[in-house]
Every structure is written in structure tokens, then in C-alpha cells.
Structure 1
Amino acid sequence: MIRIVLADDEALLRSALSALLPMKADIEVIAEAADGAEAVEAVREHRPDVLVIDLEMPGTDGLAAVERIRADRPEQAILMLTRHARPGVLRRALKLGVRGFVSKSAHPAAIAAVIETLHAGKRWIDPEISALAVLDDSPLTDRELDVLRETLAGCSVAEIAARLHLAEGTVRNYLSNAMHKTQTRNRREAARYARAREWL
């Protein structure tokens, strides 16, 4: 029996998967979560074999939740569900230790099969999502994308430095490089430019 925690802010989809996944494989949904913060707590409490988590949720999103979970449980197998797998997001998730990526439109039987694959210690990335990553045309480095992501969240330079464990001067350098590459006038414009092109 594969014990999973299922985290998704869409109640209808979450309840459907909760009902259907056990019918498609030897899976037990031991807890559900409606956002990233609840997912972190559910994993701490229940210690599942696999966490199935939505990428885009209000408040603490999937990536932020994964970062906190992996700090506590570096061995945790994680399957991320997504509708829009931007290349930068895919790279960041893989760096955080996410072992599987599946489209939210996938059939429950396919999602169940991927859960089994991850439980066996393997990786699985939806071919369509993988193709998007290969086609990534962003001129920005991962660190430049990191500081722009924090800028979008409304963080000041000092807050970005603290969150990313960087010196403020280093953050300014990354922001300056990003503005130069995107030919924008300030860091917020650069962040919006990167988001519009789905680099973030």
C-alpha cells in the first residue's frame, strides 16, 4: 500500500483524485491539504510515501511548500501536478528534489502509475512538460530568476537578500544584470517582463 498526502486548492479535483486513485492502484490517501501550509503540516504529521501536490496554490504555493518539506524530509518522494509548467519553474522544482511532474489534465490511472514509479525510487516527467523545458529561451540565469521571483512577491532588496542568503550588493548585481538583459528600466519591469514570457 502506497500512502499519499494529496494537496490541491481545487476541492473538486482533490476529492475526485482522492476517490479515484485508490481504485487505480494500491494507494491510500491518508490526508488532504487545501494549500501549501496545510501540505507541510500534513507531511510532518503523516510522513507519507509520496506527496502529490499542486504547483499553483494561494498563499504558500507548491514550490514554497516543497522547499520546507524537503528541509525536514530530504528523502520525501514528491509528485507535482501543474497546468502551466514554465521552464524556470520546472528547473527550480527539480533542484528542490521533485521527482515527478504530471499535467493536471492527466487521467487518474496515469497519475496513479506515476505515483507507483516514484514510490519505486524512479523519476517521471510528463513528456509535454519536459519538451517545454528544452525549448526554454530565457537569457537569465537561475539566480537572476530567483531575485526577480522575489521582486514579484513584493520583496525589497534587503528582504530578497535575507530570503536568498545573499549580500544586498550581490542581489543588486543580479537585478542589474536582469534589467540589462531584458532592456527594462527597473527591477519590477524586469520581473513583469520575465513573467510575461513564462520564464518565472
Structure 2
Amino acid sequence: MNRILVVEDQYLVRDAIATLLSLEDDFEISGKCANGQEALDWLGANEAPDIILTDIEMPLVSGLDLAEKLAALSIDSKVVVMTTFSKPGYIKRALALGAKGFVLKEADSEYLVSSLHKIVKGERVISPELALMALDDNNPLSAKESKALKLAADGLKTHDIAQKLFLSEGTVRNYLSEAIAKLDATNRVDAARIAKQKGWL
């Protein structure tokens, strides 16, 4: 029996997915969480499931942040991401974090079930539409620029970003200036907005 944790902030979607998957003989819903933080709390109190099926855009802790924390904690559940057409940049980031699958929210239920069965067998599954979009998606930001911009988007000041990244304030300003220039943005807020729309943050 393959145990699944469903992480999705929309109650009706979360419940529908859990109900659908519970109809499969070899799937068991171990838990349901509304965001990544709830999932981390759940994992702290329960045995890790075989699969963590997670949305990306959620309050408190996003699906990508959850995947990053799971990797840091060496939790070996297979992470499967549900996403939409509009965020191809998420794919490359999640792949780097070890995600085993990307399923479009627009996909039909049979595709979701089939994908999870393949992932259980050790395969990696990416919806063809998302794979094509990812190939065309070129993120101009360096890893350090992305980190600085993400922290700026979270509301941190230059001084706080510098402390968090163990950098000088001048270096942080340079990273943010580079990000603004590369994205043809007017300021750091605009740059963060553009990068988020692309799925790069």
C-alpha cells in the first residue's frame, strides 16, 4: 500500500484529490494539509509517506519551500508537484530539489493516477506541456540574485538580507541591481513581481 500526503490550500480541491486517490486499491491517504508548514508539522508527528502530492502556491510555506526543507531533513518521500500552465520556471527549481513529478492541475484524473503509479515504480513524470514550456524558459537570474530578490520580496531590508546571506550590504545591493537590470524592472518590487510571474522565485 502506497501512503500519500496531500498538501493543497484549497479545501475542495484537497478533498477531491484525496477522495479520488483513495478509490485506488494501492493508494492510502495518510493525511491532508493546507500548506507546507502544516505538512512539516504533520511529518514531525507521523511516519513519512511514500508520496507527498503538493500544490506550489500556498500560504506560510510554499510547495517548493516544502521540497527544499524535505531535502534538508533527508525525508525520502517522493515529492510530486501540482502546478499550472502559467509557471514553467517552477519546474527547473523543483527538479533541482529532487521532485519526482509535475502534474498539471488541468490534467484529468486518469493522468494523475497513472502518473503516481509510474512515480511509485521509480519513474519521473512531467506533463508534456510543462516540459515544453520549461525548455523555452530561460531564467536570467543567478542563484545568488534569486535568493536576494526572494528575501527582498518577503519584505526584508538590505541590511537584513545581507545578514541572512552572510554578505556585505554592498554585495546585496549589487545583486538586486543586477536582477532589476536583467528583468528590465523599475525597482526591486517590480523585479520580484516579474520573477514571481515567471515562477523563478
Q: Taking structure 1 as the reference length, what is the TM-score of the superposition?
A: 0.87
Residue matched to 1:17: 17
**What is the number of equivalent residue pairs in this alignment?**
199
- Which of 7-16 and 69-78 deviates more? 69-78
The verdict on how the C-alpha distance between 1:108 and 1:127 changes in structure 2, with shifts beyond 3 A counting, is: same
Query: Are 2:83 and 2:103, in contact at CA under 8 Å, matched by a contact in 1?
Result: yes
Query: Are 1:53 and 1:79, in contact at CA under 8 Å, matched by a contact in 2?
Result: yes
Residue matched to 1:186: 187
Find the residue that maps to 1:30 and give its secondary structure: strand
Which residue type is aligned with residue 47 of structure 2? H
The verdict on how the C-alpha distance between 1:37 and 1:191 changes in structure 2, with shifts beyond 3 A counting, is: same
Shift of 1:103: 0.8
Which residue type is aligned with residue 53 of structure 1? T
Distance of 2:26 and 2:86 partners within structure 1: 28
Find the residue that maps to 1:188 and give its secondary structure: helix
Distance of 1:131 and 1:25 partners within structure 2: 33
The verdict on how the C-alpha distance between 1:182 and 1:56 changes in structure 2, with shifts beyond 3 A counting, is: closer
Give the % identical residues.
35
RMSD (Å) for aligned C-alpha atoms: 2.2
Q: How does 1:46-195 map to 2 (within 5 A)?
A: 46-84=47-85, 86-163=87-164, 165-168=165-168, 169-195=170-196
Which residue type is aligned with residue 190 of structure 1? A
Distance of 2:163 and 2:122 partners within structure 1: 34
- Which of 134-143 and 7-16 deviates more? 134-143
The verdict on how the C-alpha distance between 1:187 and 1:108 changes in structure 2, with shifts beyond 3 A counting, is: same
The verdict on how the C-alpha distance between 1:129 and 1:25 changes in structure 2, with shifts beyond 3 A counting, is: farther
> Which runs of 4 or more aligned residues in structure 1 lie more than 4 Å from their structure 2 counterparts after TM superposition?
196-199
- Tell me, which stretches of 5 or more residues in structure 1 are unaligned? none
Distance of 1:58 and 1:119 partners within structure 2: 28
Deviations 1:21-54 (A, max 9, x none): 1324510001110111111122332310010011
Find the residue that maps to 1:106 and give its secondary structure: coil
Deviations 1:68-116 (A, max 9, x none): 2222234221001112452332221111111111011222222122222
Query: Are 2:87 and 2:197, in contact at CA under 8 Å, matched by a contact in 1?
Result: no
Which residue type is aligned with residue 90 of structure 1? I
Query: Are 1:35 and 1:58, in contact at CA under 8 Å, matched by a contact in 2?
Result: yes
Distance of 1:62 and 1:184 partners within structure 2: 26
Residue matched to 2:43: 43
Residue matched to 2:26: 26
Distance of 1:54 and 1:87 partners within structure 2: 14
Query: Are 1:117 and 1:123, in contact at CA under 8 Å, matched by a contact in 2?
Result: yes
- Tell me, which stretches of 5 or more residues in structure 2 are unaligned? none
